[in-house]
Chain A
């Protein structure tokens, strides 16, 4: 009995530490851009991407005959942190007659100029919501919220001082849905707008 209680306390302590660690990581992620020397003087360079997005969704994990093709939109906010590093917050929604999928992701992004183009790669963590639209006479609530993660990248072509054309952005996403893990591919294309000037010692063309 005593041992069980001890174990419980230990688990509680681990949970508390994990919670503190998560809070710290979150705080660092959010505050770092503002805590740089330059951020005391002005807001960090920010870019917004918006465009069309296609999602190849691995619905076979919960009984569909094939992977599903979903269409939708992708919006991102990128904030410059340090040199080539930034943080990206990513939101996307994809739709088909069989199901809808939404991703809410955030993660670090590395950007590099090369030969007049701007390339970037990033990793993500976040949440994903999936909603089934074709469930027949089911007993089960056809919506799920699960963890999500992934990585990807793309390239930008500058157009003028503040605009970029993003011909392709590809991400590999792993999402938790209905108790299964899906392995999805997302392709997006659209326009990037930069607020302010190119950051000093940072990417941007």
Chain B
């Protein structure tokens, strides 16, 4: 016999106050049951730097659905560029390229809001791309005006302290404008792309101190705009926009030259179902979280390139399923920490395209995209 039926039988014999309370209890229980059954999925926040501030979006970790965080954009210093989040979701760091500083912001995970903690930390000239090691202990900053790299240690409060480098300075020179930074999960190597010199600088990293790796800098014959190290640190790939190729290197920490070109490199940049279709102007690359696949953003095409990596030789084999499509002029790709979705920043369409990672390593559209409204400069996710 149901509770309601029992209640009806009992009710006439009980005082009104108890009847009322019993009915109220039944109602509230039903309401609570309904509320529990509609519990929300877990989510994370994506922060996108644009010229005027930081846009924020909440991402459902299962469906990928995107909700704009109403209170964004958050305003920091002048012309924010690089952004990095610590792995405990407490702090965000933003390079203010227009005023040579780094902002520390506290993250409110519940609301997604950012609140700046002043004062700002001085950086080199025109700080741009930033990178944090996986442990959240050090922040690496590419100074595009002073052509060098700064490293900061991160205190538990989020405060930054510059790390004195082996050369006695607070920065390490890289000759010309550094355009990108990349580091394997181990955090013991740092790669810096320098397009003006068409070269990659490689450093070994120890407690934030950068030491030039043997053979560094490495000349890249076909030009470059970015560099991408595999999560394991075994390989480095460099898209060559001028020749529509991808240069591949194996990493040998103990050898006289840290980076050694892979056999068959540079690889022709392919995309789409026709294996011979060359994709124009590759500029940015990203590894799948497992490190078995490589994805390339082609500035001259909305189609992305996707490859399976031979983990023994580093050779790239194009995945010939339908090419995943991004917006206009895609510039870089990032995976979220869950490794389920890839995000492609589109300069031309001022948007970010979300793609789903399939079990065969291919990416496919799930219909979600983020209209940023300005050129997305950098992207970072909470864990």
Contacts and interface: CB of A to CB of B under 8 A. Distances in A.
Given A60-B40, A67-B40, A138 B71 contact: yes
A138 B68 CA distance: 13
A135 B35 contact: no
B91 to A, nearest CB: 13
Contacts of A187: 28, 31
B349 interface: no
Interface in B58-91: 58, 67-76
Nearest to A167: B24
A98 B113 CA distance: 11
Given A168-B24, A170-B27, A63 B56 contact: yes
Interface in B2-50: 11-12, 16-17, 19-21, 23-24, 27-28, 31, 35, 40, 43, 45
A137 B111 contact: no
A138 B23 contact: no
B43 A65 contact: yes
Interface in A95-145: 98, 115-117, 132, 134-140, 142
Nearest to B11: A115
B139 interface: no
Interface of A: 56, 59-67, 98, 115-117, 132, 134-140, 142, 155-158, 165, 167-168, 170, 178-180, 185, 187
A170 B31 contact: yes
A66 B60 CA distance: 11
B269 to A, nearest CB: 37
A139 B53 CA distance: 9
A59 B53 CA distance: 23
A135 B110 CA distance: 11
A92 to B, nearest CB: 17
A62 B28 contact: no
Given A136-B106, A142-B71, 20 more contacts: A62-B69, A63-B57, A63-B112, A65-B40, A65-B109, A65-B111, A116-B19, A117-B23, A134-B111, A134-B113, A135-B71, A136-B114, A136-B116, A139-B74, A156-B20, A157-B16, A170-B27, A170-B28, A185-B35, A187-B31
B115 A136 contact: yes
Contacts of B20: 117, 155-157, 165, 167
B105 A63 contact: no
A137 B112 CA distance: 11
Contacts of A63: 45, 56-58, 67-72, 111-112
Contacts of A62: 67-71
Contacts of A66: 40, 110
Contacts of A179: 70
Contacts of A165: 17, 20
A165 B24 CA distance: 12
Nearest to B21: A167
B27 A136 contact: no
A137 B70 contact: no
25 contacts: A61-B67, A62-B67, A63-B57, A63-B67, A64-B112, A65-B109, A65-B110, A66-B40, A98-B110, A115-B19, A116-B16, A117-B20, A132-B71, A134-B71, A136-B74, A136-B106, A136-B115, A138-B74, A138-B75, A138-B113, A158-B16, A167-B21, A168-B28, A170-B27, A185-B31
A185 B27 CA distance: 13
Contacts of A136: 71, 74, 105-106, 108, 111, 113-116
Given A65-B109, A140-B70, A168 B27 contact: yes
A4 B142 CA distance: 57
A151 B57 CA distance: 32
Contact of B110 (A64, A116, A137): A64
B116 A137 contact: yes
A170 B73 CA distance: 36
Contacts of B23: 117, 155, 167-168
A62 B110 CA distance: 12
A134 B111 CA distance: 7
Going nearest first, the 10 A-B pairs with the smallest beta carbon separation are: A63-B69, A62-B70, A136-B113, A135-B71, A168-B24, A157-B20, A167-B24, A136-B115, A138-B71, A116-B16
Contacts of A142: 71
Contacts of B75: 137-139
Q: Which one of A59, A67, A137, A167 has the highest number of Cβ atoms from chain B below 10 Å of its Cβ?
A: A137
Q: Which one of A63, A138, A142, A187 has the highest number of Cβ atoms from chain B below 10 Å of its Cβ?
A: A63
Contacts of A115: 11-12, 19
Nearest to A158: B16
Nearest to B75: A137
Contacts of B17: 157, 165
